[in-house]
Amino acid sequence: MCGIAGIHAYLDVSPRVDRGEIVRMNDRMKARGPDGSGLWVSDDGRTGFGHLRLAIIDLSEGGAQPMHASDGRLTITFNGEIYNYRELKADLQSKGRRFRSESDTEVLLQLYDEYGADMVRRLRGMFAFGLWDAGKRTLLLARDPLGIKPLYWADDGWTVRFASQAKALLAGGAVPRDPDPAGIVGFHLFGSVPEPFTVWRSIHTLPAGTTLTVDATGPGTPQPYYDVAAALTERATRASNGDARVQLAEAVRDSVRHHLVADVPVAVFLSAGLDSGALLGTMAGLGVRDITAVTLAFAEFKGLAQDEAPLAAEVAARYGARQIVRTVDRAEFERDLPALLDAMDLPTIDGINTWFVAKAAREAGIKVALSGLGADECFGGYPSFTDVPRSVHWLRPMSWLPGLGVLARHGLSAARAAGLGLHPKAPGVLQYGGDWAGAYLLRRGVYMPWELDEVLDRELVEEGLRRLAPLSRIAAALQAGAPLGDFDRVAALETALYMRNQLLRDADWAGMSHSIEIRVPYVDPFFLAALPPGEALAAMNAKDAVADVPPQPLPDSIRHRPKTGFSTPVGRWLREAAGTPSSGIDFSAASRDWALSVWRAGWAGPAAA
């Protein structure tokens, strides 16, 4: 796991690479790579790569980057881990290829030499890389199928720049800071910035599951090689082999086994939930010993159902893990807030929990930890798996009446303004609730489109909504492949939108801020393909079935615990800091409080970095 940066001047008249710019980009990301750094500029001065190393696989200098092929034709800067690199290496060796190191990075170079850009389809892992092919005079940028590792790029018409963090591109000094209304509006709607946007007009997110080739004419169009909806469609049409619960258990064990590939110990982030408990139990069942489990607790939650520590301790003891419980209070949150906002690469309403659990891991000397992130998306663990289909099926007939939804929204908005106590989303139920995109926006939205004028400039809102086209963007997550069943439709939406744009991005910036590599066994296209079809997952109650995966199943105290979510008391802290009393924890209101606080503190000015 690392930080990468690069500059490629693709036009003959472009200025040559400025080494100092790459150094400045690297310096902005230094927490990503405490174990080493590298800088390379081509002989003609037109291409340069930077690298920061967190050594996990092949701890020797043989894994240092940027790395060159033996003939010097190929050069790569790579962030991530390839879990099937040994199998890929063996296949390449059977073709007569020879290797100089034990690193997965060298496997990427030789795999590209063998298969070209199509090599990304063979990779099992999390990755983002830039690869320079001196023979073809092309730069290849690539990102893993589900978007675990980020990659940002900018093009000024002369030169392409890329980096693991958007703020690193700004730190280089050559990328403009003009704000992007589409990204700003997207953050206020969803609580995160939807790709390919950022909050800066010049900086783009390379979409998950795509490659981008830059040649002498400049960057082409990102080429998709993986689509969540298409993958779920293919899975749904495949005949299920044998017992679905056995199939699920085998898929979990196989994914955990692959995610343990490392030359350093692998820990686990342990909450009181089923998903992380199943990971710990599976690790123990696979023979891993001396496991460290890190649990996050908040002083504010002591004695409440939201306190993760007591039940997590029961699970740790069950599987013989050494548990570290890290308790955070309001004073520590306030002390860390400036650093947290500085590390937050794009605005988000989440990531605080990951920041503190990663901080605890770093304090304990841990470099790698497994997380249960992604299980709810594939096992149906969110209320959206029930709420969104119900909304669509109940309200779809209403959508055939022209103008009814808009009329109802205006009427209910007026009623809410008059103090009738309606939920902020209530006015939009008839207008949006009858189709999949609208119902999902209602479920996941922080602010609704008609509320944005209250918190943002009207002209910015109009341009942002026009360029973002939020309903079309949501609907696009379902367009590939044949129509899906209800379970798989929601799984595709949650995986391609909420998980990708928020949870995975937050895991990256918050974990890497503390030099912690977070691995996510439930976020793996090989794992998704090995699961039973969505209908079978729904029928078996997959969230319960995963508790039976460890040889010693999870205890009933965990299985029957009401789902509370891995939450933080930030909303209460913010209201109390503002002098507003709070008698309870309203997480919906907390999301809005936190969204506005994040925006005003970190991004409200166009020069924010």
Q: Which of 134, 191, 266, 257 is nearest to 526 (CA)?
A: 257
Domain membership flag for residue 317:
no
SS (H, E, C) 516-585: CEEECCCCCHHHHHHCCCHHHHHHHCHHHHHHHCCCCCCCHHHHCCCCCCCCCCHHHHHHHHCCCCCCCC
pTM: 0.94
Listed in sequence order, the residues at least 6 apart from 501 whose beta carbon sits closer than 8 Å to its beta carbon are 147, 190, 192, 193, 194, 195
Q: Tell me the C-alpha to C-alpha distance, in Å, between residue 243 and each of 249, 386, 532, 548.
A: 10, 25, 9, 14
Q: Which of 573, 552, 506, 487 is nearest to 340 (CA)?
A: 506
pLDDT computed for residue 396 by the predictor: 80
pLDDT for 310-320, tens place per residue? 999 999 999 99
Q: List, as one string, the DSSP characters of 94-147.
A: HTT---S-S-HHHHHHHHHHHHGGGGGGG--EEEEEEEEETTTTEEEEEE-TT-
pLDDT computed for residue 418 by the predictor: 52
Domain membership flag for residue 52:
yes
Domain membership flag for residue 136:
yes
Check which CATH number belongs to the domain holding 207 and give it. Answer: 3.60.20.10
Domain membership flag for residue 51:
yes
pLDDT computed for residue 584 by the predictor: 43
- The total domain count for the chain is 1
Listed in sequence order, the residues at least 6 apart from 127 whose beta carbon sits closer than 8 Å to its beta carbon are 78, 79, 80, 81, 82, 108, 142, 143, 144, 149
Task: Give the orientation angle of helix 181-190 with respect to helix 458-468, to 10 degrees.
Answer: 90
Q: Distance of alpha carbon 136 from its chain centroid, rounded?
A: 32
Range of the domain at 213: 2-226
Q: Which of 522, 143, 259, 607 is nearest to 152 (CA)?
A: 143
Which residues of the chain fall short of a pLDDT of 70? 1, 239-241, 399-424, 426-428, 480-482, 563-567, 571, 574-589, 605-609
Q: Residue 174: what are its φ and ψ, rounded to 5°?
A: -110, 0
Q: List, as one string, the DSSP characters of 154-178.
A: EE-SSEEEEESSHHHHHHHT-S---
Task: Count CB atoms within 10 A of the CB of residue 226.
Answer: 18
Domain membership flag for residue 17:
yes
C-alpha span between 440 and 443 (Å, rounded) = 5
Q: Tell me the C-alpha to C-alpha distance, in Å, between residue 97 and each of 90, 93, 116.
A: 9, 5, 15
pLDDT computed for residue 586 by the predictor: 47
C-alpha span between 420 and 414 (Å, rounded) = 9
Domain membership flag for residue 567:
no
Burial class (CB in 10 A: 0-12, 13-18, 19+), 560: exposed
Domain membership flag for residue 334:
no
Q: Which of 167, 166, 226 is nearest to 196 (CA)?
A: 166
Q: Distance of alpha carbon 288 from its chain centroid, rounded?
A: 27
Domain membership flag for residue 221:
yes
pLDDT computed for residue 481 by the predictor: 62
pLDDT computed for residue 280 by the predictor: 98
pLDDT computed for residue 609 by the predictor: 45
